[in-house]
Amino acid sequence: MKTALTIAGTDPSGGAGIQADIKTMTANGVYAMSAVTALVAQNTTGVKSIMEVTPEFLAEQLDCVFTDIMPDAVKTGMVSSVPLIQVIARKLKEYRVEKLVVDPVMVATSGDRLISEEAVDALKAELLPLATVLTPNIPEAEVLSGMTIHGPEDMERAARSISERYGCAVLCKGGHDLNDANDLLWRSGEAKWFYGRRIDNPNTHGTGCTLSSAIASNLAKGYDLDTSVERAKTYLSGALASMLDLGQGKGPLDHLFNLEGEFVK
Ligand SMILES: Nc1ncnc2c1ncn2[C@@H]1O[C@H](COP(=O)(O)OP(=O)(O)OP(=O)(O)O)[C@@H](O)[C@H]1O
Ligand SMILES: Cc1ncc(CO)c(N)n1
């Protein structure tokens, strides 16, 4: 069985972060592993508080995984401080991780900030150059490119600039910000659009975590980047279209919408 690792924060309400990543990887047929960067007290209505792990403890978690079950692909999500980013970058290099999806998480769907100002600079300097693909939403792409984005052409310009600066592919997600479901992948010097069917569902907590984990799962299984993005979008659309409705804010997706078998009944 192929394996994938998420390095991210938690969501006790189960819709985003590590919890969303594990469900997504499982639903996409890979063995899921997780290293926690921070315990986050949050739910569908917002973030109450954040308790970061120490850099030493994160390093130990990563050593435990990498020396035992080497993942076929890795995804990073919420990493809120400079020392944690430095540890991740060091370990990814030490263990020569090749397939890396970096979701540059900055703000939760609820609007709460999940990264410090200084950590954005560390993310740019240390993690982005190691990525196979980055998956910013529009506000994140604006921060990383220093450009403002009003439409599809701006998405192409920003993604191209980020890609050229950091030497990785960039998937700029249209998502809830441009009110469509079209994402732009900039790779190998050219653009490819992935046109999604917009689903009329306000419950979008964790869509970004879910998409990046699904891409990592497909890379782990050996699909190329374009195919991995295509398959991940199809999976995400299914999880949204299942119309799960839980919680009092923007609710979670139905990650296991495709699960069948005797134990499900
Ligand atoms: N209503 C929708 N219908 C279909 N696809 C959607 C919808 N909303 C978002 N998506 C898709 O979900 C994926 C995640 O994009 P989005 O822009 O929502 O990410 P995000 O802002 O990082 O998410 P998060 O809320 O987890 O931070 C993209 O592929 C996007 O096109
Ligand atoms: C831990 C975590 N990572 C990412 C997001 C973004 O949705 C969130 N809400 N929580």
Q: How far is the CA of 11 from the centre of ligand 2 (A)?
A: 7
Q: What is the pLDDT of residue 55?
A: 98
CA-wise closest residue to 206 among 80, 105, 81: 105
Residue 37's pLDDT band, with cuts at 50, 70 and 90, is very high
Of residues 157 and 178, more confidently modeled: 157
The answer to whether 110 and 47 are in contact (CB under 8 A) is yes
The ligand 2 atom at the shortest distance from the C-alpha of residue 105 is: 4
- Tens of pLDDT, residue by residue over 105-162, are 998 777 788 888 899 999 999 999 999 999 999 999 999 999 999 999 999 999 999 9
Residue type at 125?
A
Residue type at 238?
G
Domain of residue 220: give its range. 3-264
Rg (Cα) of the chain, in Å, rounded? Answer: 17
Q: Is the whole model's pTM more than 0.95, yes or no?
A: yes
Residue 78's pLDDT band, with cuts at 50, 70 and 90, is very high
Mean pLDDT on 167-178: 86
Residue 260 has pLDDT above 90, yes or no: no
Residue 14's pLDDT band, with cuts at 50, 70 and 90, is very high
The ligand 1 atom at the shortest distance from the C-alpha of residue 199 is: 3
Ligand closest to Cα of 42 equals: 2
The per-residue pLDDT of the chain, averaged, comes to 95
Residue 18 has pLDDT above 90, yes or no: yes
- Tens of pLDDT, residue by residue over 218-244, are 999 999 999 999 999 999 999 999 999
Q: How far is CA 136 from CA 6, 93, 156, 257, in A?
A: 17, 22, 13, 25
C-alpha 76/C-alpha 71 separation (Å) is 13
Give the ipTM of the model, two decimals please: 0.97
C-alpha 97/C-alpha 216 separation (Å) is 12
Q: What is the pLDDT of residue 21?
A: 98
Mean pLDDT on 192-210: 94
C-alpha 255/C-alpha 238 separation (Å) is 9
- As beta bridge partners, residue 76 has 7, 102
The answer to whether 70 and 42 are in contact (CB under 8 A) is no
State the DSSP string of 180-211.
S-EEEEEETTEEEEEEPPPP--S--BTHHHHH
Residue 265 has pLDDT above 70, yes or no: yes
For β-strands 31-43 and 46-52, DSSP reports them as antiparallel
Q: How far is the CA of 148 from the centre of ligand 1 (A)?
A: 19
Mean pLDDT on 4-23: 98
The answer to whether 47 and 107 are in contact (CB under 8 A) is no
Q: What is the pLDDT of residue 202?
A: 93
Q: What is the pLDDT of residue 107?
A: 82
Q: What CATH number has the domain bearing residue 136?
A: 3.40.1190.20
The answer to whether 40 and 17 are in contact (CB under 8 A) is yes
The beta strand positions in 10-112, using DSSP E, are 31-43, 46-52, 73-76, 100-102
Ligand closest to Cα of 199 equals: 1
C-alpha 133/C-alpha 168 separation (Å) is 6
Q: How many structural domains are present in the chain?
A: 1
